[in-house]
Chains A and B, each alone.
Chain A
């Protein structure tokens, strides 16, 4: 396999996988955001008033 063929194949394959990844991340990433904000919202309510706690 020549270098030109290697780079051509790599370019096309990576483009296809990246397009697929972009679709999956767009859809499922939005769901992850909802889940994260819900969990953080509940957590921040629970921690309200505990602002001066010490951390390591």
Chain B
């Protein structure tokens, strides 16, 4: 980025309404979160309490914590990016997510059998259904994919804070924000485990839910309801509304891929969502939790997308946003590099919202950032402790040692996240990075869970092949694609992608399904399968 562009960017960023009092609001919120972590430490008596809140979470608290976890700042940022680049057509993902979660709530698909087995993690199910070896392999893949998946959380979250507060987008500010946020999350997560995570999720839900609604109302009142739709129609054509249109940023393959990832995997296979299901006090409460959460699952995509759409409309049509237009869409022929469009939504919100309101929204978003981080830290660290280290030691590990080990692993993952946020240089869309990295785990797990629960013939060997298929998702990461020639720049200087993440993901799922079925038929287990009661039939 040239110095002139940097200066223009800094000038544009500094026009935020975020002021000193807003910093106070954010500071108070952060202190409350840390205080909760310290306070609830007294309730941690064993691993079931530390990573599952003692399985004592009621329906409404379950909805709050499910939403708090899944409506993270990273979600807000990448969904706003989808709205900014894809218009209303991106809403198909929200529709799919809501419908799939409702389906899981109505049928208990995957999650009810897991809850009935009283497992704490998905790999624990692998041991009950298949073998200890599959549990360890599943744990390794889950931890690897999950930790890789959250690699960009810290950086993207910090970009939001920089964008909305008007801190310098270049230089040390981003790094300092990353370190401070990370330290705060580490303190209260290591202290209180799932109990503090759930309590902070509840506070986040309350602040964020009302903040989202008010901010959306202000955006509509400022830009005009009809003007927003008309502008998207003018700028993006039919592709701005129809996700299957030729000029859309999506297409049928993408819609199908989203049905798997944003739909069924997001609600019934992704470990952080499943860990909430496994913490519920009963299967009845669990199903109610999913049914109510279906609204939140749609909202967590739809509202940020709408903010991204509003940011686009503001940038393209508002006289006040004219300076941003040249930053995000440099004129053709200009050598200026376009500003990362992840900044569009936070910069827009920083200008749109009045003082105090902008502080509350920033606090809510930081809450969203923290609640996602704490859940992910806890989830991956507990998998490493419970499903990798403890089984490898033959289960000979005391409660005290497990809790201590989990805390150490949380800190180590925090160190990795900081490193990855600072040094990863992949240029793919954030959501696609997450779908690909998460896919290393969930493409195999999706198949192994479904067949393991609902097909008696599924065998340990089949599960092994199904899980291992997931490693092929590494081919979707941009640096790996460049290395193996799946992505290159042609003679005309165009970026050529031979295999999209959607195509790769669907192929890997088909492969995992095929290998697991064939492997199970070739090498069946002597005994196996869940009974009717464990599957949740009836």
> Which residues from chain A sit less than 8 Å from chain B, CB to CB?
2-4, 7-8, 10-11, 14-15, 17-19, 21-22, 24-33, 35-37, 39-41, 43-44, 47-48, 50-56
Contact = CB atoms under 8 A, between A and B. Distances in A.
A27 B202 CA distance: 11
26 contacts: A2-B241, A3-B89, A3-B241, A4-B241, A10-B91, A18-B209, A18-B213, A18-B295, A21-B209, A22-B210, A24-B60, A25-B67, A25-B205, A29-B63, A29-B205, A32-B57, A32-B62, A36-B57, A36-B61, A40-B45, A44-B43, A47-B45, A52-B400, A54-B395, A54-B396, A56-B390
Interface residues of B, number: 57
B216 interface: yes
B292 interface: yes
A40 B49 contact: yes
Interface in B266-309: 292, 295-296, 298-299, 302, 306
A18 B302 CA distance: 11
Contact of B88 (A7, A29, A44): A7
B35 interface: no
A53 B63 contact: no
A14 B299 contact: yes
Contacts of A29: 60-61, 63-64, 202, 205-206
Contacts, number: 139
A30 B198 CA distance: 11
Contacts of B40: 37
A24 B289 CA distance: 12
A18 B209 CA distance: 8
A14 B99 CA distance: 12
A27 B206 CA distance: 10
A54 B390 CA distance: 11
Contact of A36 (B56, B292, B306): B56
Given A7-B91, A33-B202, A47 B46 contact: yes
Given A35-B58, A41-B43, A51 B206 contact: no
B45 A43 contact: yes
A18 B487 CA distance: 41
Nearest to B213: A19
Nearest to A24: B60
B399 A11 contact: no
Contacts of B95: 10
B395 A44 contact: no
A33 B199 contact: yes
Secondary structure at chain B's binding surface: helix, strand, loop or mixed? helix
A18 to B, nearest CB: 5
Nearest to B195: A40
Contacts of B88: 3-4, 7
B54 interface: yes
Given A3-B242, A36-B56, A54-B397, A8 B229 contact: yes
Contacts of B198: 36
A36 B65 CA distance: 13
Contacts of A53: 46, 398-399
A44 B63 contact: no
A28 to B, nearest CB: 4
A35 B302 CA distance: 33
A24 B88 CA distance: 29
Contacts of B42: 44
The 10 closest A-B CB pairs, nearest first, are A32-B58, A32-B61, A22-B209, A28-B60, A3-B241, A44-B45, A29-B60, A40-B43, A47-B45, A29-B64
B143 to A, nearest CB: 19
B59 interface: yes
Contacts of B302: 10-11, 14
Contacts of A18: 209, 213, 295-296, 299
Contacts of A22: 205-206, 209-210, 213
Interface in B168-216: 195, 198-199, 202, 205-206, 209-210, 213, 216
